Amino acid sequence: MCRLFETIRIFDGEPQNLGLHEKRLNASRRKLFGSTGDISLAEHISVPEDSLTGVYRCRVIYEESIISIEFIPYRPAVIRTLKVVHADDIDYSLKYLDRTCLTGLIDRGVADDVLIVKNGFVTDTSYSNIVFTDGLRWIMPDTPLLRGTMREKLLIEGTIREERLTVDDLGRFVGFRLINAVLGCDAPLLPVSNIIR
């Protein structure tokens, strides 16, 4: 059976953006398993005493029902460079626990991570959505592999907007950030020159 997961940011004992995680979890359960009843993450997540201060990743593994919940101290990955890779057949529209289709694209001898291009359009990196800036506005691809919860939050707030982007469009931008549920907008701003074509 396919297993999926959600990674939820826990900040000083409080789960962040829980509604969007719950919405995605239940939509995935309906799509894969035909589930009719929704799961309330708030009823299942109880932050342990040793995870009440600082930033933790709450990892919820599930199928039709929740399999496990764990709390892990957050240590951000150091990603400075991206290599453009073309992967037209890749599908990561659901947050599958098996991520080999993504991690198998990385060659750390060339770059820290990959910028995946599918059918000619910029999508995501192997572990995050990506947002670009021209110095004034923040733009993200409208063709993500996975609609991340932080991505959705920023769109709802109007902090960022979507555009269809090709590799040739990258020259319009001066920098980029990698965002996911735990990173948010605090991720380092990196120059577009760190993307290897």
What confidence tens digit (pLDDT) does each residue in 99-113 have?
A: 999 999 999 999 999
The model's confidence at residue 91, banded by pLDDT at 50, 70 and 90, is very high
Note whether 59 and 102 are same-domain residues. no
pLDDT at residue 53 is higher than 90: yes
Name the pTM for this structure: 0.94
| Number of structural domains the chain divides into | 2
What's 22's domain CATH number?
Answer: 3.30.470.10
The model's confidence at residue 77, banded by pLDDT at 50, 70 and 90, is confident
Cβ-in-10-Å burial (0-12, 13-18, 19+) of 9 comes to buried
Domain final residue, candidates 73, 98, 124: 73
Note whether 60 and 143 are same-domain residues. no
**Measured between alpha carbons, how far is 174 from 194 in angstroms, rounded to an integer?**
10
Residue 157 is inside which H or E element, if any? helix 149-157
Q: Calculate mean pLDDT across residues 144-150.
A: 96
Domain final residue, candidates 73, 94, 113: 73
The range of the structural domain enclosing residue 108 comes to: 82-196
Note whether 100 and 67 are same-domain residues. no
Domain final residue, candidates 25, 54, 73: 73
Note whether 96 and 52 are same-domain residues. no
Q: How far apart are the first and last CA of the chain?
A: 37
Question: Which residue's structure tokens are 């000619």?
Answer: 120
